[in-house]
A = this chain, B = another copy of it.
């Protein structure tokens, strides 16, 4: 009976682990509640009509089709019995010899879960389509309004959080308003829409080099985005957002709006807490699992936690950033460690610890302008943007439709076309916008490292 490896989560980390175990003398089961792998770095493009969900997702079964030692189980993991070594699913327990947990993070509202209904976050395709619906419906509502203040409120969009997602979203909404919807309405002028980006600290992209922050701020301002720095959120309601000012406790602003996007914080998936309780591992304040230098849990060399869910502080003292490259490298490391153990090369006692190789970062800032900091060379402008495009297309490695996506981007780049912004579905307001491909040309900062 061959060694059973169960991988929970089919994201960048889990999928890389599974692929690294190709042809190994193991039996791999990838469990995910979704039937597809999602290219999350481009999710904001779906949320803003840049791409269709199908462009940035690929079915796990198709990706792993030819990997005969690997099966896919569609289902939600409800718990893990670390003593009996099996994973609980609605279809019954799945036993493992080695376990890799890569279930990532969700957004959190800093103790205000009631804000979620007014300010959806952006982690899943459902989040993305919900945000698309809200943004497009806001323009429709404004067109129907007659009271100028009401129109103004419908044409005001507030993005909370100046990290990569927030910067991308704000820039994309501004571009939709200024270019995509121009001339589409008879009463309102969508180009008059107000896009507000709120950041608690004194610059956007605080986790990035100051140079990138400056370029991003410049381009956001060119896009007409209002930057509200050193502000944090006091309250979010159906018709307004209330902000505080970092330097002046008494100064609060209230912005009338019906469309708020949350890009301000994440927390580890619930499975992390369960694992911690079962194994005595520690969680950080974001609910991420603090892992050993070999990505395993204390006293459980057979359990690996990788990707966004893992807090790995053994390299710099700081936890590694929640980016795809970290997850990919960790998935590869965990899989190789398991192979090594089976070959008897690696002693479970003292394996070579995981090291993250940082390959530099890059950012697209507006249409056909980008900054690529590859450490050895710094590309800017159109050249940087082309390299951004190239890197992303190469990254869509699992996607049979890479050429199509490129054609769509090229097409959209010249036409600024986001044509099929369909409002579909039957929610309290129409939901699930299908949106046409467009170029990834909004103020966008790539949150991951160059492969």
Q: Please report A residues at the B interface, Cβ cutoff 8 Å.
A: 34-36, 52-55, 57-59, 61-62, 65-66, 71, 73-75, 91, 125-126, 129, 136, 140, 144, 181, 183-186, 399-401, 403-404, 407-408, 411, 415, 417, 419-426, 430, 432, 434-437
How many monomers of this chain does the complex have? 2
24 interchain pairs, CB-CB under 8 A: A34-B430, A35-B140, A35-B422, A35-B430, A36-B420, A36-B422, A54-B434, A55-B420, A57-B420, A57-B422, A57-B434, A58-B419, A58-B420, A61-B181, A62-B184, A91-B144, A125-B422, A126-B426, A399-B420, A400-B415, A401-B419, A404-B404, A404-B407, A404-B411
Q: Given A140-B74, A404-B404 in contact, is the A419-B52 Cβ separation under 8 Å?
A: no
Are B432 and A65 closer than 8 Å at their CB atoms?
A: no
Q: Which of B35, B75, B425 contacts A432 (CB 8 A)?
A: B425
| Separation of A57 and B422 alpha carbons in the complex (Å) | 7
| Separation of A423 and B60 alpha carbons in the complex (Å) | 11
Q: Given A408-B404, A417-B400 in contact, is the A54-B432 Cβ separation under 8 Å?
A: no
For the complex formed, measure the closest distance between the CB of A56 and the CB atoms of chain B, giving whole angstroms: 9
Q: Given A140-B35, A435-B54 in contact, is the A59-B421 Cβ separation under 8 Å?
A: yes
| Separation of A424 and B59 alpha carbons in the complex (Å) | 11
Residues of chain B with a CB closer than 8 A to A58's CB = 419-420
| Separation of A55 and B404 alpha carbons in the complex (Å) | 13
A139 — nearest CB in chain B belongs to which residue?
A: B61
Q: Which of B53, B415, B430 contacts A422 (CB 8 A)?
A: B53
| Separation of A403 and B411 alpha carbons in the complex (Å) | 9
| Separation of A71 and B399 alpha carbons in the complex (Å) | 40
| Separation of A129 and B71 alpha carbons in the complex (Å) | 26
Residues of chain B with a CB closer than 8 A to A400's CB = 415, 417, 419, 436
| Separation of A338 and B355 alpha carbons in the complex (Å) | 75
Are A62 and B419 closer than 8 Å at their CB atoms?
A: yes
Are A436 and B186 closer than 8 Å at their CB atoms?
A: no
Residues of chain B with a CB closer than 8 A to A62's CB = 184, 419
Residues of chain B with a CB closer than 8 A to A422's CB = 34-36, 53-54, 57, 59, 125
A426 — nearest CB in chain B belongs to which residue?
A: B126
Are B435 and A432 closer than 8 Å at their CB atoms?
A: no
Q: Which of B54, B65, B126, B401 contacts A184 (CB 8 A)?
A: B65
A400 — nearest CB in chain B belongs to which residue?
A: B419
Q: Which of B54, B184, B421 contacts A52 (CB 8 A)?
A: B54
Residues of chain B with a CB closer than 8 A to A407's CB = 403-404, 407
